[in-house]
């Protein structure tokens, strides 16, 4: 028994944000029915393809454990089928451009009438306000949610991060909203609307920068390296390079091999509690009692210089040797692991965080597994569905249509072209 077994999701999501959410729910055991446009499907099936005519990794890595039905929801017959699906599902998840579902005739008001128990969950770029009608992609959200203005180096332009905090981040927020609404439905007996706006999600993840915006009113941000460099602060939270976002100064420093390996670096944190051990490790035992270095407050104007000295030591070791030397002394540090290293890391394979699955047209590929581990609800990853792979199965199993009705629906054109195998049967 999986945690969300028995929960049926009508998945109208596409691209990344929504599919991240429904993939998570599927990993927890929900039956996720992905509705796709006949002949086209989720646009990502065809984007960034590495193998011709095969579903892209972009698609396959976001749509594991789901079933796919093709349905033209703008045709009369398609609307009839969709209405039946709305009656049979617990949750509708969508991340269309604002207004698309209303234009289709399946906005919140209509869906509530068809199925008052329905949880109606949406990702949108912005919440209510001046930009609510705008289409939004990942980097737009990073820019409008405060991530880009606070990422990058002080003397460089705003920078987006590789972590998909706008899309995948908002998908995670939405998933929490959905399970919370399902939980509340247990007592109220009613569905409700769940909205996760990408701008809000990014800002939520950037809260430490909003914290610093307010701290700025009361003086310079002393833990930022720009303070040690004597550079004055402006009116808004600045970009802080690799400064740590917390109270313990940190920075990325070079390790042995940095001249040729772009990832031969380590994130080093000068946590106050282990300052003495750091001094011994980097060959500066005299700093332990030096009034200019002994206390965290005294070190604030010397942070760049301290990290230069730490780097002289880390450059004599590989990033993993640095980690091996630091861990026994409780000095936190993070070797910069490349995607190649992560994809080959045996411990991530062992925990199912990275998994290999087999696909009928692609063959074997690597994908992510559930990063959230439940002791009573293990997640097995199954491959993403082919376009419309489960169309007939969903019509009979979920909607209870007879064989004749299924054939009739195919004949109406609402499901697109009947796959050769189904036609032969």
Residues of this chain that bind ligand COA (CB under 6 A):
15-18, 35-37, 71-74, 95-97, 100, 103-104, 123-125, 135-137, 167
Residue placing its CB nearer to ligand COA in the complex, 66 or 124:
124
CB of 232 to ligand COA, least distance (A): 38
SS3 178: helix
301 flagged as catalytic = no
Closest approach, Cβ 383 to ligand COA, in A, equals: 21
CA atoms 406, 411, 417, 422: torsion sign: positive
Pick the closer one to ligand COA by CB: 95 or 151. 95
H-type alpha helices, 291-402: 296-299, 303-314, 319-326, 339-344, 346-350, 391-397
| Structural contact between residues 52 and 370, judged by C-beta atoms closer than 8 angstroms | no
Rounded Cα distance, 165 and 209, in Å: 15
- Nearer Cβ to ligand COA, position 101 or 331? 101
Shortest approach of ligand COA to residue 135 CB, angstroms? 4
Distances (CA, A) of 409 to 69, 142, 311, 391: 13, 43, 68, 11
DSSP 321: H
Alpha-carbon separation of residue 174 from 6, 31, 200, 202 (angstroms): 19, 17, 11, 13
> Min. distance of Cβ 417 from ligand COA in angstroms?
14
In DSSP terms, 219 is beta-bridged to none
- Kindly tell me the burial class for residue 420, based on how many C-beta atoms sit within 10 Å of its own C-beta (0-12, 13-18, 19 or more): exposed
Asked if 214 and 161 count as a contact pair (C-beta separation under 8 A), the reply is no
Q: Reduce the DSSP state of residue 93 to 3 states and report it.
A: strand
The helix/strand/coil state of 57 is: helix
Q: In whole angstroms, what is the distance from residue 229 CA to residue 188 CA?
A: 57
| 3-class DSSP assignment, residue 122 | strand
CB of 19 to ligand COA, least distance (A): 8
Rounded CA-CA distance 379/137 in Å is 29
Which two tokens mark 305?
Answer: 């210089």
Give me the catalytic one of 31, 42, 167, 212.
167
Which of 197, 253 has the CB closer to ligand COA?
197
Whose Cβ is closer to ligand COA: residue 18's or residue 228's? 18
82 vs 310 by CB, closer to ligand COA: 82
The two structure tokens encoding residue 155: 């003397």
Shortest approach of ligand COA to residue 48 CB, angstroms? 13
Question: Given the complex with ligand COA, which of 123 and 148 has the nearer CB atom?
Answer: 123
CB of 102 to ligand COA, least distance (A): 8
Q: Which is nearer to ligand COA, 90 or 138 (CB)?
A: 138
Least CB distance to ligand COA at residue 390 (A): 15
d(CA 198, CA 113): 28
Which of the 8 DSSP states describes residue 244? -
The H or E element containing residue 194 is: strand 193-197
With H, G, I as helix, E, B as strand and everything else as coil, classify residue 97. Answer: coil
How is residue 397 written in tokens? 């199993």
What letter would DSSP give residue 232? P
Distance from C-alpha of 108 to C-alpha of 120, rounded to nearest angstrom: 7
Enzyme catalytic residues = 167
């Amino acid at each position: 028994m999986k945690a969300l077994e028995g929960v049926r999701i009508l998945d109208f999501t596409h691209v990344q944000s929504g599919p991240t959410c429904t993939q998570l729910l599927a990993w927890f055991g929900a039956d996720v029915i992905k509705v796709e446009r006949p002949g086209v499907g989720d646009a990502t099936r065809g984007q960034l393809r590495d193998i011709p005519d095969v579903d892209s990794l972009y698609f396959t890595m976001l749509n594991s454990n789901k079933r796919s039905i093709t349905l033209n929801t703008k045709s009369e017959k398609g609307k009839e089928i969709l209405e039946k699906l709305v009656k049979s599902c617990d949750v509708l998840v969508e991340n269309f451009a604002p207004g698309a579902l209303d234009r289709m005739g399946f906005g919140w008001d209509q869906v509530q009438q068809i199925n008052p128990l329905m949880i109606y969950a949406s990702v949108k770029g912005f919440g209510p306000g001046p930009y609510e009608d705008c289409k939004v992609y990942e980097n737009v959200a990073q820019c409008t949610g405060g991530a880009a203005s606070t990422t990058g180096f002080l003397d460089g332009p705003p920078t987006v991060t590789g972590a998909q905090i706008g899309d995948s981040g908002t998908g995670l927020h939405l998933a929490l909203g959905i399970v919370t609404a399902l939980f509340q439905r247990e007592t109220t007996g009613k569905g409700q609307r769940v909205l996760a706006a990408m701008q809000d999600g990014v800002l939520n993840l950037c809260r430490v920068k909003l914290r610093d915006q307010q701290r700025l009113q009361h003086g310079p941000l002393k833990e930022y390296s720009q303070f040690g460099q004597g550079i004055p602060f402006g009116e808004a939270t600045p970009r802080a390079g690799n400064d740590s976002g917390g109270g313990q100064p940190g920075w990325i420093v070079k390790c042995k091999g940095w001249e040729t390996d772009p990832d031969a670096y380590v994130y080093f944190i000068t946590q106050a509690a282990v300052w003495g051990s750091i001094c011994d490790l980097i060959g500066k035992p005299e700093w332990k009692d030096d009034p200019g270095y002994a206390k965290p407050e005294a070190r604030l104007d010397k942070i760049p210089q301290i990290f230069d000295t730490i780097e002289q030591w880390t450059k004599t070791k590989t990033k993993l040797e640095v980690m091996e030397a630091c861990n026994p002394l409780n000095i936190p540090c993070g070797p910069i692991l490349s995607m190649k290293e992560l994809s080959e890391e045996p411990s991530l394979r062992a925990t199912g965080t990275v998994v290999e699955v087999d696909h009928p047209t692609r063959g074997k590929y690597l994908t992510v597994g559930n990063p959230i581990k439940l002791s009573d609800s293990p997640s097995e990853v199954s491959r993403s569905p082919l376009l419309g792979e489960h169309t007939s199965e969903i019509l009979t199993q979920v909607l209870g249509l007879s064989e004749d009705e299924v054939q009739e629906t195919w004949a109406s054109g609402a499901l697109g072209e009947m796959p050769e195998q189904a036609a032969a049967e």
